[in-house]
Amino acid sequence: MRGNSLATRLFLSATAWVVVILLLTGIVLSSVYRNATERAFDRRLNLYLRTIIAEVATPDNTPDQFQSLGEPLFELPLSGWYWQITRADGGKPELRASRSLWDKKLPKLEEQGADLTAAGVRLGYVDGPEGQLLRMVERPVDLGIDGKFLASVAGDASEIFDETRSFDYYLGGTFAALSIVLVLTTIFQVRFGLAPLKRISESIADIRSGRAERLEGEFPVEIAPLARETNALIDANREIVERARTHVGNLAHAIKTPLSVIVNEASARGGDPFAAKVLEQADIMRDQVAHHLERARIAARLTVIGTVTEVAPAIEALRRTMEKIHRDRGLAIGVKADASAKFRGERQDLEEMAGNLVDNACKWAATRVFIEVLVEPAAEPGAGPMLRIIVDDDGRGLSAPERAQASRRGQRLDESKPGSGLGLSIVVDLAALYGGSLTLGNAPIGGLRAELLLPGV
């Protein structure tokens, strides 16, 4: 997928959202699981704490009666699980503790600033005797005349962190697999969802190249309006072109008839200098009107989508015609045309441009004219191929100033040759309308070389 394509942008956008959503979800789930694990650990500590308080509040108890609490870890020295009971009323110091504390003491949460919760206990993390991080619950106990005590139970917090870490590993692996599945699903959805647009793009390319006239086929309901509007635009374009052609034809008829009347009236007064001047100007008007009407006609035809002309047959037909016209001179007209060459335009326009160049070459050639047709690849991505038509003759050729003058409208370098001087000018104008150009140079066979560059297919 190209970096600037809609599919790429959609894919990157969807992927980014997937990553962000999964990342946020993972953070939330990890936090929720950690809190749940911590609450479960606290419930376990509170159970031990209530058991200890119940034993303390039982009359005639002895320390040995509740030191184990049914948990072997309280018996193992420095195991990370501890309990202790200390006086809190300033009376005779009395300390009862689990065997696991050995000769150590637990810190007090009260001294570390922990507040009592609604349940009357303090919760927090403290450093244990061996540097372990402990999760500890602490509760003050008032036994009336027996005094006030502070009961504490602590457990190794590594159980919380290990459990949470294990969950994070599993969660990360699951989300990584889910991300891959979602990315693959996104790729499939983007490609499948944009497939109709790709089909429309290919269909429009077929229309532009002349292989089709309309968008055909069934499209999804979301894309169908685009296809209908595109077809409607093509139809409207064709109607506009047809109306333009009709108007051009009407204008040609309306102008040529008065010109014919003027020419006929002036011809009837052959000896009158004024009539001669009228005839001269009427001929110029006729040439100019024909030239500009032709330009209008070509400009209208250029808006027609999908017109393509095979070049080789048109050039071959032109060669046969010129050989007949110049048969008495014995000209040799050679042709080398790429069979795959196609012109993005109408055959009539190609024949008019190439015909002017070949006719001009035949007029000036001594014995030989050579026509070559080449197809050049696109100069840049997205552009179409170009068509190069080269016409050489072995005449006297033209100097650089003469070549610059030859393509000007109405300029004739030799009045002995027939013509109005509009041939090369018409070629230049028509080529420009198609986005092409005409270049004059020196031919390898000794005369003039005319290179016509036109859009190909």
How do residues 100-129 score in pLDDT, each as one tens digit?
888 888 888 888 888 888 888 999 999 988
Residue-level pLDDT at 116: 83
Is pLDDT larger for residue 48 or for residue 67? 48
- 108-122, 154-168, 250-264: the lowest-pLDDT one: 250-264
Tell me: the pLDDT tens digits for 190-227?
777 777 777 888 888 777 666 777 787 787 787 788 88
Q: What pLDDT, on the 0 to 100 scale, is given for residue 411?
A: 47
**Topology given in CATH for the domain delimited by 309-455:** Heat Shock Protein 90 (3.30.565)
| Mean of pLDDT over the chain | 80
The pLDDT value recorded for residue 369 is 93
Instruction: Please compute the mean of the pLDDT values over residues 73-102 and round it to a whole number.
Output: 81
Higher pLDDT, 46 or 198: 46
CATH 1.10.150 given to domain 60-156: no
The string of pLDDT tens digits covering residues 407-424 is 654 444 444 444 434 567
Contact (CB, 8 A) for 121 and 106: no
Percentage with pLDDT > 70 across the chain: 84
Q: Which residues of 330-345 are buried (b: 16+ CB within 10 A; e: fewer)?
A: ebebebebeeebbbbb
Checking if the pLDDT of 391 tops 80, the result is yes
Q: Give the C-alpha distances (Å, rounded to integers) separating 304 from 99, 300, 301, 327, 360.
A: 99, 8, 5, 38, 30
Cβ partners under 8 Å of residue 170, min gap 6: none
Structure tokens at 435: 């986005």
Q: How far is CA 375 from CA 312, 322, 355, 381, in A?
A: 11, 24, 19, 16
Is residue 457 packed enough to be buried (19+ CB in 10 Å), middle (13-18) or exposed (0-12)?
buried
Q: List the one residue out of 61, 41, 323, 241 whose CA is nearest residue 157.
A: 41
For residue 419, the model assigns a pLDDT of: 43
Mean pLDDT over 169-182 rounds to 89
pLDDT at 2: 45
Task: Please check the confidence at residue 401 and state whether its pLDDT lies above 70.
Answer: yes
pLDDT of residue 304: 55
Amino acid in position 430: L
| pLDDT at 3 > cutoff 60 | no
* For residues 410-439, average pLDDT: 66
pLDDT mean over 233-256: 75
> Between 204 and 391, where is the model more confident?
391
Q: What is the mean pLDDT of residues 284-310?
A: 66
Helices 347-364 and 311-325: crossing angle in degrees, nearest 10, is: 40
17-43 confidence digits (pLDDT tens): 888 888 899 899 999 999 999 999 999
pLDDT value of residue 93: 59
Q: What is the pLDDT of residue 108?
A: 87
Decide if 60-156 and 309-455 have a common fold. Answer: no
Judge contact between 84 and 100, C-beta under 8 A.
Answer: no
Cα-Cα-Cα-Cα dihedral of 157, 160, 163, 164, to 10°? -120
Predicted pLDDT at 202: 80
Query: How far, in Å, are 329, 338, 420 from residue 325 at the CA level?
Result: 9, 25, 18
Domain ranges of the chain: 60-156, 224-302, 309-455
Task: Choose among 343, 329, 368, 353: nearest CA to 432.
Answer: 353
